[in-house]
Structure 1
């Protein structure tokens, strides 16, 4: 039995609505502004956690030790040059 054209049109309209809703949902999920906000919130949560604080403390300590080592190396290198000139 052939289908009624009105029934076919209703199915097409329903499919179109479903596709439009899916596209809207994908656009929302892929929104750069929303993704940026989510990423920032995740970073803030991590940095406020005990593990994040420990990681930042470790990085700070590593940076401090690196700077101290470079300063010492420069100071010692300068002394070696002065000794050679004497």
Structure 2
């Protein structure tokens, strides 16, 4: 069964269009700005957790006290 050249050409164009759409989608997903925004959102969500926030405040206070004590010894 020989295939019609017009059918083959149409299938090639469909494959090309599908590949272009896939490449566009990959380009959109791999955008570095999206990774940065996702990281920011994740960090903000973690810092909104009171356990994490108060732990960081306590660590900062302890470090500040240690530095001040060392400076005034």
TM-score (norm 2): 0.79
Q: Counting helix residues as a fraction of each chain, which structure ranks higher?
A: 1
Larger Rg: 1
5+ residue gaps in structure 1? 76-86
State the match for 2:28 in structure 1. Answer: 28
Where 2:18 maps in the other structure, the secondary structure is helix
Matched with 2:61 is 61
- Aligned pair count reads 73
CA RMSD of aligned residues (A): 1.8
SS of the aligned residue for 1:53 comes to helix
The runs of at least 4 aligned residues of structure 1 exceeding 6 Å deviation read none
For structure 2, the residue ranges without an aligned partner over 5 or more in a row are none
Does residue 43 in structure 1 map to residue 43 in structure 2? yes
Matched, 1:71 2:71: yes
